[in-house]
Structure 1
Amino acid sequence: LADTNGDSVVGGLGDTITYSFVVSNTGNVTLSNIVVTDATATVAGGPLASLAVGASDSTTFSATYVITQADIDAGNVTNTAVATGDDTNGNPVSDDSDDPTDPTDVDPDGDGDPDDPTVTGLTQTPDITLTKTASISNSSDVGAIITYTFSVENTGNVTITNLIIDDILTNSFGLIVTPSTLAPNEIGIATATYIVTQNDMDLGYIDNSANAIGDSPNGSGDVSDVSDAGDEFTETPDGADNTNGDPTDDPTVVLLSQKPEITLTKTAVVGGAGGSIGDVVTYTFTLENTGNVTVYNITLDDAFLNASGVLISPSDLLPGEIGTATLTHIITIEDVSLGYIENSAIASGFDLNGDDVSDVSDAGDEFTETPDGEDNTNGDPTDDPTVILLIPEDEEIIIYDAISPDDGDGINDVFTIAGLQNFPDNNLKIYNRWGVLVFENDAYHLGPFFDGTSNGRVTITKEEKLPSGVYYYVLTYVSSNEVKSKAGPLYINR
């Protein structure tokens, strides 16, 4: 054998086998015109003019043969040569060749001489290499289609037949490779598709491997390979960044574009008189998963309502799903004095990776900015506070003309004038039904507030609790450099 194809492998495709022949006259007469023929190899030399009794010739004849793929698939080259000559009477004499290194010594023609064929064994190395690549239509969409391409190369030296792909992810079993028969170095292709699920998007990636299986010339299903992502010499990690030390079987990883996002809207409904002390405000929190991954354990924090860790229902939301929660607030004198109630809440959860997902509430329109209670904005239309105006827009102040300081409910305990803080130059006087001054205070918005107790004028004892009944207030205040006044009855209920 000689490495005539230059691949440094002796006995490979295109290499040459050189045969030598020893022709011996084992009869009792001289032979003439001797030739050697070989149905497989190309014989050189001859004819040999004569060969005496008992003589042998080892130099006249030789033959060469170039190894084919069929030979390698068979695992050997088997052939027999024939020597032919004439005896002294011109009669033909012939003999089939024998391989003296083969101890089998078969004698198919029954002439008493063994005729073992010459067998040159060839090394078979069946091997295939499977590469799995992927392309995705849109990496941020559940329902996106991934197209996997399976490329099988015959990296051995024998023909592989009946090639198929098994791939659990795409539910492909016995997927036929085209072509399904590959000579060495040939490549076959197969494709399969997969639809991205919500679980895949929550995980953030899809990774898996496939198997290629084929038949060598000597077996069935005896050649296989686990797919690699594309580089058999460099190891690449799986989706969780793990490796196994083998660069030839790396899983094919498709990274998905996760967009964790939630949107919190906070709206309010005022009950009772629609904005008086003691009225109940019902806040509704609407939380929508506006991202593309599932968000878990979503809770609310609302400092104004003294609420922390309030669970949204349901607290786990798939993309597009909505959860809600409700909380209440009782309007206080401070709210009324300020003239409005405003606040924001924060919703928080986490995705499957443990990353936080949160949003500051908006009043209801994520695209149009609405101002806070003092008509301020921050340039972000997605986090506007929820505002309840307790003073109508056409009123500067609102006077609540009744108090009930002793009923123990903590409501309407003091005389409340909403919006007065906007007019700091003010004076309040309160008279009983006989016109006696029982209370007076400049800058009333700063307190102390009238709770039905005299603050000690000429005819009324200081700190005396005034009886139930009708009293009269007179309020003066400066608005836009103009002195304004309001007066009316004030009721004390005990």
Structure 2
Amino acid sequence: MPRTSAVTISEKVATTENGDNFRLVTRDGEEHSRPSTKLSFRNALKGLALASLTATIPAQAIAQAACSVADMVEFPSVYYEDFGTGSGRTMNNDVLNHTFQPTGGIQDDWYAVGRSADLSGAYMQTLGGVDADGETEGRYLGINMRGKNEPGNSWQGEFYRQNNISMVPSGLPSGASLGGFRFSTALVGTCAGCEDVPNFTLIIEDSSNGSQLASDTSSGIGVANDDVWRTATLDVVPAPASATAANLVLFNSQPEGDNGNDVGVDNISFVPLVCYSPVLDFTKTEVLITNVVGDPDAVEAGDVIRYTFTAVNSGSATAYNVAVTENSFNGLGAIPVPVVFSGAADLDGGNGTNTDVAVGATLVYRADYVITQGDIDAGGIINNLADIAYEDLAGNPFSDTSDDDDVTSGDQPTSTPVPVPAVDDASSGNAQGDTVNITLTNNDGVAAIDSTVSLIPPSGAIGVVTDGNGDIISFTVPNQGAWSYTDGSGILQFVPLAGFAGNPTPIGYTVKAPNGANSNSASVTISYVPSVPEIELVKSVSSVADTSGNGIFGDAGDTVNYTFTAENTGNTALAGITVSDTDLAALSGAFTLNQPAAGFDGDLAAGEGPVTVATATYVLHVSDVAARGVTNSADVTSTAVATSAGGDPVPGAPLLGFGPIVDDSDAGSEASFDTQDGSTTPISNPAGTGGPDDPTVLNISNVVALDDSGTATSGTSSTPVANVTTEGTPDTVNGVA
């Protein structure tokens, strides 16, 4: 198909004599600052298109350019004529069909090269007296066009030619290709106010055969008789494949030679247009989405890793038909498929995939990967790279591999450490005051030796301690106790404050696996069995001793031996265990209480006992014999205290909220005893025999009166005694007449 060549006209108005502060004006009204040189001014005109005309290029000469005209970049000129600077007039051998006018006014058919000030006559000078670059010292070609009314009808339209300009530029940078050429010239109508409008044709010929490669006219694009410079530009795109050299021709298309045939020409340029390779900066990032299934704070099978693939065109050419695919992916589930999320455009007329990226634009793809249970069990890092493929306008392929960031050198894989799921922990049934140890990570899918833990204190915690990794390893909750964790051990410990009763406020923690990923937050709950301090006291007659030595066990003066045993039947430790026996002390006989018993330290751990805590002796009085026995109870007093980490009572740490823990004794021995040796019979279940808190009884009514034969009868046994009385002497029973 024929290609379209653009003729660009720009306007430059001088405001000072020396050319400073002139402005470059386009038809859209945009102003541009003054360039510093002729070349920079020409480059400033790039892309300021005001009008387009059609130039037909032979189809056989077309080679597809690698980029669009908008993406092409001007390369240093292969031909450039700006006529220089300096005073005076000179001739130019490239001017045709006109004669050099060295002095005076420039008449029809004549020309001269010089400054505006040197081109005498009002019809050859410009506004502000400047050349096309705004310089008063700059020179240009002033020409009074030959027309048909010249003598002998000698009009010739062609007035400037430059032949055999190379179309094979050298020194193209790596990755650049020739896209076409730009032929431009600055024109000014110097016959201010004249009615005929200058009209020119720009022609590019193949030097090998003189055939036209392209041509356009400046008709209707703004050149006027107003002494203002305008630049016409003819783009030849794509570069002709068969031509190696070109001829540049300026042709006068306004042939009458009447008013308005006075023109200035400057900055004749033939510039290669270069296509640079498109460059896409390609990054791949990820975000973990944990609220897809189950616990929104935990990573579970079915949760998603969302990948974002971002391609930014940082080059000088449009990238066409962009495609993104996964390169390497070590996840155990289905490989994600990238799809366009934003930024896709059709910049090549519907060809290909319509995923084109203009210079400076951004194209974004997305893909979701569904995490599998295998990924979680592996506890590793999901590493992956993606590839991006794209083309230039000519279909030349380009590709790149994704990078995780724009800072680190090289293509860094996108890595997603899969966190281990932390599971809530609980310890229940603990005795109040007990130190509690919990193996924290045994249910979190990672060995304690391979992980680190960071505790999450509750509100109000104090004394927070962090380790070198920034993990919280210990703290204290006021009025409750201290929490601590040691990496590698897996043990979380809670030590309650002395006297704390109740359940501590739950805490949280996270686990960091070897892959560096932090888990969700899990909770730790400790509960204690409600404190129920209890003690049971048993009072037993362990034996009756014949202290009087009369062979009778249980008469006045004999000694009754008592044993007090206590058992901690509650779930707290007890300390300060003290026995009192006010009943026995109130009797007439001599009473001695010995406590603590030998080997007893005054404390009982929860569940400990029965333990002998005290002993006592009582010497029977004649009144006891007369009463046929001794009946009495004792009581015990103790304090509920905390338990140490080793399970021992802590006497100095009484549990708050409890008064003295007391009990009245139960009988631990049968009421009767063996009068032959004073032994007693224990009761196997003191608490279940004789009712609650039944008194301890010693019966002595089975000792009978002495007979006159000198034998004391006790029960079924007779024992000779020394104090035999004669018949008629009053008998005594255990010393009682």
Task: Indicate the TM-score class for this superposition, using the shorter chain for normalisation.
Answer: 0.3 to 0.5
Larger Rg: 2
TM-score w.r.t. the length of structure 2 is 0.31
TM-score w.r.t. the length of structure 1 is 0.43
